[in-house]
Amino acid sequence: MKISIGADHGGYRLKDILVPFIESLGHEVTDVGCSCDQSVDYPDYALPVCEAVASGQADRGILICGTGIGMSIAANKVRGIRCALVHDMFSAQATRDHNDTNVLAMGERVVGPGVAQEIIRIWLETPFSNGERHVGRISKVNEIEAKYAAKA
> Residue 57: left (phi > 0), alpha (psi -120 to 50), or beta?
alpha
Q: What is the mean pLDDT of the chain?
A: 97
3-state class (DSSP) for residue 51: helix
pLDDT at 152: 64
Please, is 84 exposed, middle or buried when counting C-beta atoms within 10 Å of its C-beta (0-12, 13-18, 19+)? buried
Share of the chain above pLDDT 70, in %: 99
End-to-end alpha carbon distance in the chain: 33
Residues catalogued as catalytic: 65, 98
pLDDT in tens, 54-107: 999 999 999 999 999 999 999 999 999 999 999 999 999 999 999 999 999 999
Q: Where are the alpha helices (DSSP H) in 25-77?
A: 43-55, 69-75
- The CA distance from 107 to 65, in Å, is 5
